[in-house]
């Protein structure tokens, strides 16, 4: 280990210690089962929005986007735009009704809406699948970061992140995680904003050099490649990102911690602002990387652009300090997103699997025990996969998780909330069609299957065909099985859409 | 600010008397035809509002790839030295999304207030 490793090491240690400290401090407020799962539903919109932002801005946002922009140019701007716009779609279609439904997880929603335990199980399976698909790149990214920052072997990152997440989730549950994640949003924003500004000043001092490669060409056209395939790929990505957000398990769980539907909407609005504030900075890194970081692209290390750029542009103490700061931000990104996903996946595993072993509906102690057991399962599986599998790129693999969510939970939520004739058979058929379609494509991607031409495009970006397929299947099968429509559907929709003013008055 | 600020006085209109049932929430919860009409109208209105937002997004952000596909020369257009795609998708889009979201929340809460007024009937005690 050399002197280069010191700032990164200090940063990683500081973030780890602070995270555990805040988590432990939050533990003092975590007394009941309700605290454990939903922070007793008393989190105010601003704190909750910071926590959502902290949880949502993953390694893909902090490291991946800048690297993708550097290599791919303007077409990659759709990633941050889609991740933000997804919240707008969530706001207008899902936020308030989902909170009012009283569902803690997506399987809860499916069961309450359709009264079917089979649909519930299918949803649980999908939550765990999407969650693991999303956790995997977080752990892989952690390995990458520690390798770049302190020269540690690849397996160290996943292990450290896995253990810290597990400690936090197991000790405090949702209440303490809320504080941790709110803190991590602001840490991530600072860790991106301050270096970006300093580096911009350095660039100005340098006499505002342009890119050595000259013309912009494809770098400033927000479409993936030439021709119809490029257009398809771009639109498919847009569909996956815009519609997938509402189906991410860790996002849905957060909504239940709002006091009511109105607060859920306000929280979402604040999240929109916080995400926008964050996402204007990765393009700055990419633009500077185009001037100073060409060798990173040549070596295929664009993923670590954010971590390397300070040293490439500044020598001495300044560069070291900024390196420490961005390393801290990156590490916070892994911890917070992984914690959120671990909570969501553990919640589902607790309800559907481990509580049966520990004793269902038991006293608080045994529910917490079931939750802890579930957390171990939720974290250790993706850590193991991350240790064993090869890296396919942080943002790419996150995009696949979005495609699966957009093709399964998005139609389920939209039809479940707005269409009273949805039946359990329809939901199940739609989930199967979308899940097998997008999920199958994701698995093929993970194991490294590549085609050429249209085949490759349809496989790499499945959302544009799998999402409509899932929707159509859900609607058509529901229409074919009208007798299976649950008798309480109407009453349930009333609850979803009745404003809180009336609930209090009535 | 002086501390002689006059105390806030609540101004209310003359009591209005309604002829119908005072609270029609029961109609919405019980599955009466009248409650059905209420719910349908609220659902339709909220859905139409959501739809308007989605169409707006589709017609602005959604058309960008097509526009750049049809006129790739736009890639060379620069605003203040920055390619136009980066200005729009890297910066302007975020305040735009926030503005759309903010206006949506305002409208949807107005819809809900209207619905509440309709369901509760004219009731001076509940007006906000």
Per residue in B88-111, pLDDT (tens digit) is 888 899 999 999 999 999 998 888
Other CB atoms within a 10 A radius of the CB of residue A452 amount to 7
Give the rounded distance of the alpha carbon of A325 from its chain centre: 22
A180-196 pLDDT, tens per residue? 788 889 988 998 899 89
Show residues of chain A in contact with B54, CB under 8 Å: 89, 92-93
Stretch A88-107: mean pLDDT? 86
| Nearest-angstrom CA–CA distance, A83 and A282 | 13
Show residues of chain B in contact with A93, CB under 8 Å: 50, 54
Q: Decide: helix, strand or coil at residue A180.
A: helix
Query: How many structural domains does chain B have?
Result: 1
Other CB atoms within a 10 A radius of the CB of residue A448 amount to 9
Q: Which of A200-214, A262-276, B20-34 has the highest mean pLDDT?
A: A262-276
Stretch A183-212: mean pLDDT? 84
Q: Which of A252, A310, A311, A278 is nearest to A103 (CA)?
A: A252
Q: For residue A395, what pLDDT is reported?
A: 64
Of B29, B94, B128, the CB nearest to A280: B94
What are the tokens at A241?
């990102």
Show residues of chain A in contact with B21, CB under 8 Å: none
Q: Given 1.20.1730.10, 2.102.10.10, 1.10.760.10, 3.30.420.40, which CATH number is that of A5-505? A: 1.20.1730.10
Q: Which of A492, A343, A503 is nearest to A420 (CA)?
A: A492
Q: Tokens 């590490």 correspond to what residue? A: A331
What are the tokens at B25?
């929430």
Q: Is the predicted pLDDT of residue A98 greater than 50, yes or no?
A: yes
Q: How far is B47 from chain A (nearest CA, A)?
A: 8
Q: Which of A211, A196, A150, A213 is nearest to A4 (CA)?
A: A150
Angle CA A119–A120–A123, to nearest 5: 85
Cα-Cα-Cα-Cα dihedral sign, residues B80, B92, A186, A56: negative
Stretch A323-338: mean pLDDT? 85
Q: Where are the domains of chain A?
A: 5-505
Mean pLDDT of chain A: 81
Stretch A246-270: mean pLDDT? 83
Q: Tokens 């849905």 correspond to what residue? A: A252
| Nearest-angstrom CA–CA distance, A458 and A86 | 22
C-alpha gyration radius of chain A: 22
Show residues of chain A in contact with B100, CB under 8 Å: 88
Q: Per-residue DSSP letters for A55-77?
A: HHS-HIIIIIHHHHHHHHGGGGG
Inter-chain touch A502–B53, beta carbons under 8 Å: no
Q: For residue B97, what pLDDT is reported?
A: 93
Q: Where are the beta strands (DSSP E) in A33-191?
A: none
In total, chain B counts a number of residues equal to 128
Q: For residue B21, what pLDDT is reported?
A: 45
A235, A271, A416, A498: best to mutate for the B interface, most B CBs within 10 A:
A498
Beta-carbon contacts of residue A57 (< 8 Å; ≥ 6 apart): A185, A188, A275, A278, A333, A336, A337
| Nearest-angstrom CA–CA distance, B48 and B120 | 23
CB A133 within 8 A of CB A51: no
Q: For residue A505, what pLDDT is reported?
A: 46
Residue B79's H or E segment, with its range, is strand B78-79
Show residues of chain A in contact with B90, CB under 8 Å: 77, 280, 283
CB proximity A223 to B under 8 Å: yes
Q: Would you place residue A218 in the very low, low, confident or very high pLDDT band (cuts 50, 70, 90)?
A: low
What is the domain range of residue B105?
A: 25-120
CB proximity B69 to A under 8 Å: yes
CB proximity B23 to A under 8 Å: yes
**Number of inter-chain CB pairs under 8 A, A vs B:** 148
CB A156 within 8 A of CB A179: no
Q: Would you place residue B33 in the very low, low, confident or very high pLDDT band (cuts 50, 70, 90)?
A: low
CB B34 within 8 A of CB B24: yes
Q: Decide: helix, strand or coil at residue B83.
A: strand
Question: Cα-flanking dihedrals φ and ψ of residue B11, to 5°?
Answer: -100, 125
Other CB atoms within a 10 A radius of the CB of residue B5 amount to 7
B8 found inside a domain? no
């Amino acid at each position: 280990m050399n002197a280069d490793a010191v700032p990164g090491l200090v940063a990683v240690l500081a973030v780890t210690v602070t995270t555990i400290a805040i988590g432990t401090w939050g533990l003092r407020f975590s007394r009941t089962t309700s605290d454990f799962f939903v922070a007793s539903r008393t989190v105010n919109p601003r704190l909750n929005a910071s926590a959502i932002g902290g949880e949502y801005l993953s390694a893909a946002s902090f490291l991946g986007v800048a690297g993708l922009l550097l290599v791919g140019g303007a077409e990659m701007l759709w990633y941050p735009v889609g991740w933000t716009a997804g919240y707008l779609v969530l706001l207008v279609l899902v936020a308030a009704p989902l909170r009012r439904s009283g569902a803690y997880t997506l399987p809860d929603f499916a069961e309450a809406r359709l009264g079917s335990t089979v649909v519930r199980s299918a949803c649980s399976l999908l939550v765990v699948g999407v969650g693991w698909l999303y956790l995997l790149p977080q752990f892989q990214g952690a390995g990458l970061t520690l390798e770049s920052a302190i020269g540690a072997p690849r397996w160290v990152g996943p292990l450290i992140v896995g253990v810290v997440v597990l400690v936090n989730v197991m000790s405090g549950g949702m209440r303490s995680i809320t504080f941790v994640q709110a803190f991590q949003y602001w840490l991530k924003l600072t860790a991106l904003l301050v270096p970006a500004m300093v580096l911009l000043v350095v660039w100005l001092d340098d006499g505002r050099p342009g890119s050595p490669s000259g013309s912009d060409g494809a770098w400033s056209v927000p479409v993936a490649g030439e021709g119809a395939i490029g257009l398809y790929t771009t639109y498919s990505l847009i569909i996956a990102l815009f519609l997938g957000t509402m189906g991410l398990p860790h996002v849905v769980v957060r909504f239940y911690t709002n006091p009511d539907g109105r607060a859920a909407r306000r929280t979402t609005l604040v999240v929109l602002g916080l995400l926008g504030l964050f996402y204007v900075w990765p393009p700055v890194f990419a633009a500077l990387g185009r001037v100073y970081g060409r060798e990173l692209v040549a070596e295929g290390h664009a993923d670590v652009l954010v971590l390397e750029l300070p040293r490439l542009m500044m020598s001495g103490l300044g560069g070291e300090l900024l390196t420490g700061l961005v390393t801290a931000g990156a590490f916070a990104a892994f911890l917070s997103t992984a914690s959120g996903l671990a909570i969501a996946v553990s919640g589902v595993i607790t309800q559907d699997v481990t509580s049966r072993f520990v004793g269902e509906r038991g006293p608080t102690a045994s529910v917490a025990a079931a939750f802890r057991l579930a957390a171990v399962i939720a974290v250790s599986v993706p850590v193991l996969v991350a240790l064993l599998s090869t890296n396919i790129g942080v943002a790419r693999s996150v995009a696949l998780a979005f495609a699966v969510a957009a093709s399964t939970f998005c139609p389920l939520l939209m039809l479940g909330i707005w269409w009273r004739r949805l039946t359990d058979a329809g939901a199940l058929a739609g989930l199967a069609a979308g899940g097998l379609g997008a999920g199958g494509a994701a698995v093929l991607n993970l194991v490294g299957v590549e085609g050429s031409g249209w085949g490759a495009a349809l496989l790499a970006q499945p959302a544009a065909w799998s999402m409509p397929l899932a929707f159509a299947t859900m609607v058509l099968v529901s229409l074919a099985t009208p007798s299976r429509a649950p008798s309480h559907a109407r009453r349930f929709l009333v609850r979803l859409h009745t404003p809180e003013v009336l609930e209090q008055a009535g | 600010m002086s501390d002689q600020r006059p105390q806030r006085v609540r101004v209310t209109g003359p009591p209005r008397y309604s002829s119908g049932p005072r609270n029609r929430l029961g109609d919405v919860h019980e599955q009466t035809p009248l409650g059905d009409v209420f719910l349908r109208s609220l659902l339709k209105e909220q859905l139409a509002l959501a739809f308007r937002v989605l169409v707006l997004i589709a017609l602005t952000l959604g058309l960008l790839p097509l526009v750049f596909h049809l006129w790739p020369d736009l890639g060379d257009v620069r605003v203040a030295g920055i390619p136009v795609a980066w200005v729009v998708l890297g910066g302007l889009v975020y305040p735009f999304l926030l503005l759309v979201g903010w206006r949506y929340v305002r409208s949807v809460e107005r819809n809900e207030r209207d619905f509440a007024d309709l369901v509760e009937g004219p009731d001076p005690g509940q007006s906000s």
